Structures are given as structure tokens and as C-alpha cells.
């Protein structure tokens, strides 16, 4: 795959979701990453106000997570959390769907759960907010990945996303291929979890991903520069 630094950076959600990171460490990380040209900085919910300040005037958008990483919050709680994230300055919200409901084929519940978060985000935004639905593909069969992907987009989400990075495994090329087939050419696909080297990142993009979730964004860009 042929790609330049600017184009690769624009696909990356540079991520800081470790539970051990507080304000001081996060502030330094934000300063280092704010002007790298990433699609978003994706941070823990309590860091959203700080990140909103740090990214003021930047082309990089702000992303955070909802019902993370287990997805089993009540629908009302998910919707309230998502709305609050937007109120605090988030442009993009990555929600975890209800994994147990998918596994038991409670697809109406899954769709309603996702739709409630989408409605909450859109009601609070100025029209350009994005919802990504995390499937946690490591728990799902190929058929379940396909069905959940289709449900998420039909319920109003813009993206489907492979993994939280806290589940049984991260993204695979096969996951991305299944998701792309399910959602068609226009919906977004975010590959996340275990993307730490350039060859893996490019393989995910080749398979149909349009966004990469990683904590190794600068390393990926440096590896691309070194290859040139």
C-alpha cells in the first residue's frame, strides 16, 4: 500500500485509555500529539475537558469512550454518558455495544441500545459528531460480527470498530474484511487493538479499515518516514 505521512496520520485515532494515567501524564501526552495531524486524540472520559482545551484550534478532533470497556451499562446510562461527553467537547464517541445481547441474538435490544446513544450524541452536537460502535470481535463468531456490524450502521452509527484493547484479542484482518462486507463501501470501519507496527496498520487499511485506533501513532509515522 502506498501512503504518505499526512494521509496515514489522518486515519489514526491516537489513543490514551490506560487506567493508570492521570492529568499530569495526560497533559504531556496531549502536548506531544496535538499537532501530529491525527484524526482524533481518544482519551478517557474524565480527561475530555483537558483535551478539549489542549486541542482548541487544532485540526485534530476529540474522541472518548462510552460504556467502556464492557458495554453492559443500562441503555439510559450509555445515552446520558454519551450526551455528557459531547457537552464537554467531544466530537466522536466510541461506544461498546451490549456483547451479551449479541451473543444471545437479542438484536432488537442491541439496535435500540445503539440508536439511543446515537440520538443522544446527535441531539447534543452541531451536526458533525460521529458515533463508532465497538463490537469486541474477540467474543464473536464471524456471523455475529457481520450481524452486529449491519445493526450498528442501521441504528445510526457512522463506524463499526473491532475492539476495546481490553478484550480477549485485538483486531484482525479477517474481522475488518467481514465488517466491510457487512456494511458496504460507505460506512467507516475502525480497526483497534494490537496495532503497534506499520505492517499491521497497512494490512488493516488494505482490508478495508478507514480508521486505526492505536497508542503507537507517532511510532507508525516514524516507521513510514524511515521506509521512504
Among all residues, which ones are annotated catalytic? Answer: 94, 161, 190
Cell reading at 136: 469486541
Q: Give me the numbers of helices (H) and strands (E) for the chain, helices first please.
A: 10, 8
* Alpha-carbon distances, residue 38 vs 27, 43, 63, 85, 150 (angstroms): 17, 13, 11, 20, 27
Cell reading at 83: 450526551
CA 37 to chain centre: 17
CA distance 8 to 55: 20
Amino acid at each position: 500500500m502506498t501512503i504518505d505521512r499526512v494521509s496515514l496520520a489522518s486515519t489514526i485515532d491516537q489513543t490514551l485509555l490506560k487506567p493508570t494515567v492521570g492529568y499530569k501524564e495526560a497533559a504531556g501526552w496531549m502536548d506531544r500529539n496535538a499537532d501530529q495531524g491525527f484524526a482524533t486524540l481518544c482519551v478517557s472520559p474524565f480527561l475530555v475537558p483537558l483535551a478539549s482545551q489542549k486541542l482548541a484550534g487544532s485540526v485534530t478532533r476529540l474522541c472518548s469512550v462510552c460504556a467502556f470497556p464492557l458495554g453492559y451499562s443500562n441503555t439510559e446510562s450509555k445515552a446520558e454518558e454519551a450526551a455528557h461527553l459531547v457537552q464537554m467537547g467531544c466530537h466522536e464517541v466510541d461506544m461498546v455495544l451490549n456483547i451479551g445481547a449479541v451473543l444471545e441474538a437479542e438484536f432488537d435490544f442491541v439496535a435500540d441500545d445503539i440508536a439511543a446513544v446515537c440520538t443522544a450524541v446527535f441531539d447534543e452536537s452541531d451536526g458533525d459528531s460521529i458515533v463508532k460502535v465497538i463490537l469486541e470481535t474477540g467474543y464473536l463468531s464471524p456471523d455475529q460480527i457481520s450481524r452486529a456490524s449491519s445493526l450498528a450502521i442501521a441504528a445510526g452509527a457512522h463506524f463499526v470498530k473491532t475492539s476495546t484493547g481490553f478484550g480477549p484479542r485485538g483486531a484482525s484482518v479477517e474481522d475488518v474484511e467481514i465488517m466491510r462486507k457487512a456494511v458496504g463501501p460507505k460506512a467507516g470501519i475502525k480497526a483497534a487493538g494490537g496495532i503497534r507496527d506499520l505492517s499491521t496498520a497497512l494490512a488493516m487499511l488494505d482490508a478495508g479499515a478507514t480508521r486505526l485506533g492505536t497508542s503507537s501513532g507517532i511510532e507508525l509515522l516514524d516507521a513510514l518516514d524511515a521506509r521512504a
